[in-house]
A and B are shown apart, each in its own frame.
Chain A
Amino acid sequence: MSSESPADPGWISARPTRAVEVLERLVSFPFLLARHRDLVSTSVRRGLEARFQGTLFGWVWPLVQPLFLFAVYYFIFTKLLHQRIPDLPAGEESALGVYMFVGLLTWSGFAEATLHGTNVIVENGNLIKKLTFPSELLPLNVTLVAQVTQVFGLLAFVLLCLFSPIWPAPGPGLLWVPVLLLLQGLFTFGLALFLSTLQVFLRDTLQFVGILLTLWMFATPIFWVPELTPPEALDPYRWLFDGNPIYHLVCAWRGALMGDVLIPGRVPPIHAVSVAGIPHAVLVFALWALLAYVLGYTFFVLSQRRFADEV
Chain B
Amino acid sequence: MSTGDRYALEVEGLGKAYRMYPGPLRRVLEGLSFGRYRGHHEFWALRGVELCMRPGSSLGLCGANGAGKSTLLKILAGTTAPTEGRYRVRGRVASLLELGAGFHADFTGRANIVMNGVMMGFTRREIEAKMDSIVDFAELGEFIDEPVRTYSSGMGLRLGFSIAVAVDPEVLIVDEVFAVGDMYFQKKCVDKIYAFKRANKTILFCSHSLYDVRQMCDEALWLDHGRPMAQGDSVSVTNEYSAFQRHHIGAGEVTKDQFPPSPRAAGRSAEALPRILDARIYRLGADEECYRYATGDSFEIRVWWENPRPLETPIHLGIGFMRQDLTTCGGAGTQLSGFELLGTRGCTVLRVPEVPLLSGHFLVPVILLDEGGVHRYQEFLMSESLVVRTNTREVGLFRLDTSWENRDLPLPARSSPSGGAR
- Report A's interface with B, CB cutoff 8 A: 8, 10-14, 35-36, 38-39, 42-43, 46, 49-50, 53-54, 126-133, 201-204, 305-306, 308-309
A272 CA to B85 CA in the complex, in Å?
57
Identify B88's interface contact among A12, A35, A130, CB under 8 A: A12
Given contacts A42-B115, A129-B74, contact A309 B98 (CB under 8 A): no
CB closest residue in chain A, given B76: A12
> Other CB < 8 Å A-B pairs besides A38-B124, A42-B115, A131-B97, 14 of them?
A12-B81, A12-B88, A39-B121, A46-B107, A46-B115, A128-B79, A129-B74, A131-B79, A131-B95, A132-B77, A202-B24, A202-B28, A204-B24, A309-B80
Q: Is B41 an interface residue (CB 8 A)?
A: no
The answer to whether A10 touches B78, judged by C-beta atoms less than 8 angstroms apart, is no
CB closest residue in chain B, given A53: B106
The answer to whether B124 touches A42, judged by C-beta atoms less than 8 angstroms apart, is yes
Given contacts A12-B88, A39-B119, contact A129 B27 (CB under 8 A): no
Q: Is B376 an interface residue (CB 8 A)?
A: no
Residues of chain B in range 363-408 having any CB-CB distance to chain A below 8 Å: none
Residues of B within 8 A of A132 (CB): 77-79, 93, 95, 120
The answer to whether A14 touches B86, judged by C-beta atoms less than 8 angstroms apart, is yes
- Report B's interface with A, CB cutoff 8 A: 4, 18-19, 24, 27-28, 31, 74, 77-90, 93, 95, 97-98, 101-102, 104, 106-107, 111, 114-115, 118-124
The answer to whether B78 touches A38, judged by C-beta atoms less than 8 angstroms apart, is no
The answer to whether B123 touches A14, judged by C-beta atoms less than 8 angstroms apart, is no
CB closest residue in chain B, given A16: B81
Interface SS of B by simple majority: mixed
Given contacts A10-B88, A204-B24, A305-B81, contact A133 B120 (CB under 8 A): yes
Residues of A within 8 A of B85 (CB): 13-14
A38 CA to B111 CA in the complex, in Å?
13
Residues of B within 8 A of A133 (CB): 119-121
A53 CA to B4 CA in the complex, in Å?
51
A258 CA to B89 CA in the complex, in Å?
57
Closest CB in chain B relative to A28 CB, distance in Å: 15
Closest CB in chain B relative to A115 CB, distance in Å: 21
Identify B118's interface contact among A42, A49, A128, A130, CB under 8 A: A42
A13 CA to B111 CA in the complex, in Å?
35
Given contacts A50-B106, A204-B24, contact A14 B88 (CB under 8 A): no
Which of A36, A203, A305, A309 gathers the greatest number of chain B CB atoms within 10 Å?
A309
The answer to whether B74 touches A8, judged by C-beta atoms less than 8 angstroms apart, is no
The answer to whether B101 touches A126, judged by C-beta atoms less than 8 angstroms apart, is yes
The answer to whether B88 touches A54, judged by C-beta atoms less than 8 angstroms apart, is no
Closest CB in chain B relative to A121 CB, distance in Å: 13
Identify B101's interface contact among A38, A130, A305, CB under 8 A: A130
The answer to whether A11 touches B104, judged by C-beta atoms less than 8 angstroms apart, is no
Closest CB in chain B relative to A41 CB, distance in Å: 8
